[in-house]
Structure 1
Amino acid sequence: MNRLVLFFVLSSFPFLMCSAQLPSGSTAPNFIITDVNGEVHNLYEILDSGKSVLLDLFAVWCGPCWTFAEMGVFEDFNETYGNSIVAIAVEADPSTPADYLDGGGNSIGDWTELIGYSLANDDFIGDDYQLSFYPTIYLICPDRTVNQIGQTSPQGGYWNVPSLAQEVFQYTCESIEGVNGNIQSYNSELNFCGQEKIEPIVSISNSGSEVITSCTVETIFDGEVISSTDWNGFLPYLATEQVVLDEISGSLLNVTFNIYVDGDVLESDNSISVQFIPSLQSHGFVNVEVNTDFYPSQTSWEIKNSSNQVVAFMSYEGEDSGGGPNAGAELNHSVTLEQDCYTFKVMDSEGNGQPSFSAPGYTQAGSVLVTDANGLELMSISGDWGSMQSVDFEVSLGLEIDDDLHSSLYLFPNPASLNSALKFKLPDSNKLFIKVVNLMGQTVFFRKEILSAGEHEIQFPIAQWSPGVYHVTTFLGNESYCNRLVIID
């Protein structure tokens, strides 16, 4: 019992080391570190721009460090005020390699998945800041003074966004007198498809002492203002507001949003740059390969078009307790799509994807692979992928059907009982891809080769197949053809 009590007490407090902590009010030593995304952070350059820095010094094996990060207060604060401050988490234990951030060695877990703001490893920062326990959390003000603020606020309880904002902008660091409007985040879609328009939404805030009642948000491309939106309202100290801007074309790719307020005293947080991402260009024939785990009924997928209509959907049979006809199966589904913009979404009702060891004998993780006729990989996921994964794509290939070729491509005999063949004539040499799928979504025949010009006949081994309906999909170059084959006794 005494051991349990001692363990609980130790695990509830920061891990201690034998050294003196850097006193609050000291001048912060400069550091230049590169985070896991390759971005370089120079402390003094950040401070000289007028921004404060929240510095979380932790160790990958430290339980209280993990608990604090799990609370997500720095994550939420960074989303709200991330253009006025810089939050950085640094693994400061020199005895742990940098790759332990991914969850290796004695790490509690994958820190790169847990922490969404700047994350780095540095073996020297602990000595520079006279680190004496993990986690140590510093607030470094623009005047370069450093203050140890810990995991809890002076008002009691762990930090939250409002209490941390007051600490950063009012209590510890010198408050900004006057007007200081800023753009904190971009809150609209990043992906675009075809000629789609994007309606930008940005969050503005006020970290100055005076109320903002009006401002202008500019949309800038290639150094030129392409649109401006006037905002009028009431934005007091530390308040935020979302502003909907004029539609723009996603094909602009790189756009900057800038806020203009009369009398603004600080310009370093006035702008934010956004990069738009074009959708993948896909062939009109899409194949979905699902390898199920022990709980197939938890997994389903759908494809929606630009009108938000479901054009394809699949769920799987299984028992609530696991097992069933689709458990541990490889299932293939072929979908032919018209020219449009689409979203493929796969869902898991349990929220843990398709993990390995889902039941005795099921040691391989389930997976979902989505490809088009040209082999383009639209999605490839496996294991614990959470409750939902999605990908946007645009069908722009394989849409034109050669009427002469289509009329010469046929299955005979059909219906069939002993044999059946696909017959066609090619005017030129071309790449052939044939796939036959049963009504369970299982691929029973597959063939891929280069064919010369002339007449061709592909025999199917239907004697090995059960009676029923089969879908035969043929690709010749960038064109696709679908036939229905019926096998009878």
Structure 2
Amino acid sequence: MNKHLLITLITLFSFQSLFAQLPNGTIAPNFELTDLNSVTHKLYEDYTDLGYTVFIDFSAVWCGPCWSYHTSHALKDVYENHGPLGHPGVNASTTNDVMVFFIEGDQNSETCLGGTGCGTQGDWITGTPYPIICTDANSGFGNPASIASTWAISGWPTVYQVCPDRTLQSIGQAQSLYSLVNACLPPPSFNDDARSFMNSSASSGCSSIEPVITIQNYGLNNLTEVTIDVSVNGNPLPSMLFDEYWDNNTNQYEPLNLTSLDMKDVVLNPITDLVNGDVITIDVSMPNATVDSDPLNNQLISFVVDLGFNNAYWDGDLSITVSGATNTNAWYLKKVSNN
């Protein structure tokens, strides 16, 4: 059976604004960040793509609940017992399948992290074995201050679990963190397997939508094509073969060739003549022109159309007049439709 991802779009102009944080099950943004020891970390390349489940604590030094969670040592314990073999502070008997980060996302300085200034709750550095990321622009580490907005952080602390397939979950201030690792999908094991996710970049007009989805290769073979089927209220539209993409660097279409776990955004054909309440369903199938090796992890994307208005119209002519010292400008808008 398929796992269903049901998304109601209140406004397609600002899809992500629907959520206080990144929705569970969506793709975690990649990052390249430098810790206080000047070690650079890449989320995908160094960790998730190598099979690690990553826990990320976004906190602010002045935040009381952040300090309480930090000093509960839930993250420290899971890092020491399950972190990457050979990393500082990790036990030799580690299961070697977890990584942990602390990101001070409110742009406070390393001095504040050390326990001085900024209304800090204490010394966040001493006794913390896992990497600490400072986002202060003057710190010299070069970490982007925008990391908190990229990850849609709306409150402190926000703790995410990122699975090896790059999907994320918000986990609150969970204590038994290693028990959450088994909730992640196993690594790719079939030759031809594709997954799909709703993207936040959908655009709309008065009665049309141009959806954007993300395709992920979850197979061992390189992914060179998929079939995309769209229906409106159960009525199928023509199928779309996705086997090439527009490359802004070369200014031309390039053949699709995704290695395992790699992703590509797909702008679908515009869906027109829509009204509020229509249900759009998007299904991705036939990776590499073969039957999906593992249909159990497929996601059927379905959402209810809300164009942001309720068949608004005006009854009669509308005029707008702006008068200046020497002239008058006027515009006249006339009703031509009730839609």
Please report the TM-score for the alignment, with normalisation by the length of structure 1: 0.29
Query: Considering only CA atoms, is the larger Rg found in Structure 1 or Structure 2?
Result: 1
Indicate the structure whose relative CO is greater, using CA pairs within 8 Å and at least 6 residues apart: 2
